[in-house]
Structure 1
Amino acid sequence: MNNIAIWGASSGLGAAMVDYFHEQGFNVIAIARNPTKNPHIAQYDLMSITCDATDKTQVENTVAILPDNTLNISTMGSFHADIPVDYIGHRYLIDTLEKSTSKRLLLVTSLGCGDSWQFMSDRAKNVFGRALREKTLAEAWLKSSALSFTILRPGGLKDGAPTHHGQLSQNEEVHGAITRGEVARLSYELLLNNASINQTFQCVDPNIAPY
């Protein structure tokens, strides 16, 4: 059974990842600042670890107790937080994973990061700009690391189960939305496909209205 650590497992996309990977038979390790916010972690009887990723020591201690060769997914984010985790938390995580046996990381960021910034509207840049810049820094740190990484930039996130209509693309202008469950399904496909290593993808579901 594959071990997978899900960083940011307590809510939102991270909670959807917990559900999906548990359903696929993975040994899920749920990591969050407050894992009790997600009742499914206890319901599924999963290993949970309390970790504030903006604290380097907590990240190091968490990675140290992961089983060898654990796969990692990070959905961590902190829109409008006083100390955003998007960059510094991922920097600590990436640096620590580099020293471990668990060198496979799928980082979920957002449309608008990196070279997709140019396709964002002025309104979106004004609202989400700081968070997108933090996530872009995290992407850059990961790309220059020794990890076997995949970066996934979903469109606007909606609650909902996998739809099986999500579309992955690279290096093109994309707009739209997608359910959290579908992002989890696509993450599963990417994480187990070696062709996705050191690649950046974006995903939207053309059947879902963006607003």
Structure 2
Amino acid sequence: MNPVVLFGASRGLGFEVARYFRAMGAEVYAMVRKPERAATLEEMGVNVVLGDALERKSIKAFLDSSPENAVAVSTMGSFQADTPVDYVGHRSVIDELEQRNLRRFIMVTSLGCGDSWSYLSDKAKAVFGNSVREKSLAESWLTTSGLDYTILRPGGLQDGEVTGQGKLYNEGEVHGLITRSEVARMIYQLICDDNAIGKVYACVDPVFTKNIIK
């Protein structure tokens, strides 16, 4: 596999992506904002660069120092943050990627984004609505770019190991749960699948939940 540049690696899903890719032998480059988050990633063999995705110059410097044949993955999110990174950060990442030969990009958002907004409950819209709307704007910016993109919308994220049972859906109403480790496995799978270019998928895991597909 080509080297991977990873945004959002310091914790949560992004950290599990870094761990899974390193376990698969991939060379991983990650930009993190807080120095204290770097040590554990470096112990895994991740090449860490300090930077802030809200600063275009940080993204530019990070990508300038990354291999030209890399593929990009982003799990960035900022639920209830004072300055959300979901749209602004992703827009800068997408714009910088378009200036380079790094064409392949997988962006992780969430169920409820884009055309799946109507499937969110009123409660979910009240709690997560602003974050989902920011992510939806990022999806729109990406789908109108020149990148070889794939968008992945996971269900509710859980702690736990890889199950190998996660399912992808590209139409209909989807609800469910999935572990962060299993999402990492599915991202790896999608990077290796040229047929996934230009596609938007939801993903959940039947091991943890009953899916509703209509």
TM-score by length of 2: 0.95
Find out whether 1:27 has 2:27 as its counterpart: yes
Stretch moving more, 58-67 or 130-139:
58-67
Distance 1:103 1:61 in 2: 17
Cα drift, residue 39 of structure 1:
4.4
Distance 2:205 2:177 in 1: 6
What residue number does 1:57 align with?
Answer: 57
Distance 1:105 1:90 in 2: 11
Is residue 157–residue 180 contact of structure 2 (8 Å, CA) maintained in 1? yes
Distance 1:35 1:3 in 2: 22
Over residues 47-104 of structure 1, what are the superposed CA-to-partner deviations in whole Å (9 max), with x where a residue is unaligned?
Answer: 1011211111111111111111211110000001111000000000000000011111
What residue number does 2:136 align with?
Answer: 136
Residues 127, 206 of structure 1: CA spacing in aligned structure 2 closer, same or farther, 3 A cutoff? same
Distance 2:200 2:23 in 1: 26
Gaps of 5+ in 2: none
Please give the secondary structure, in 1, of the residue aligned with 2:165: coil
What's the Cα RMSD here?
1.3
Distance 2:201 2:39 in 1: 31
Residues 199, 19 of structure 1: CA spacing in aligned structure 2 closer, same or farther, 3 A cutoff? same
Mapping of residues 163-174 of structure 1, within 5 Å: 163-174=163-174
Cα drift, residue 36 of structure 1:
3.2
Is residue 149–residue 197 contact of structure 1 (8 Å, CA) maintained in 2? yes
Distance 1:202 1:56 in 2: 29
Cα drift, residue 209 of structure 1:
4.0
Cα drift, residue 2 of structure 1:
2.1
What residue number does 2:4 align with?
Answer: 4
Mapping of residues 187-202 of structure 1, within 5 Å: 187-202=187-202
Report how many aligned residue pairs link the two structures. Answer: 210
| Paired AA for residue 207 in structure 2 | N
Please give the secondary structure, in 1, of the residue aligned with 2:206: coil
Distance 1:113 1:45 in 2: 33
| Paired AA for residue 90 in structure 1 | H
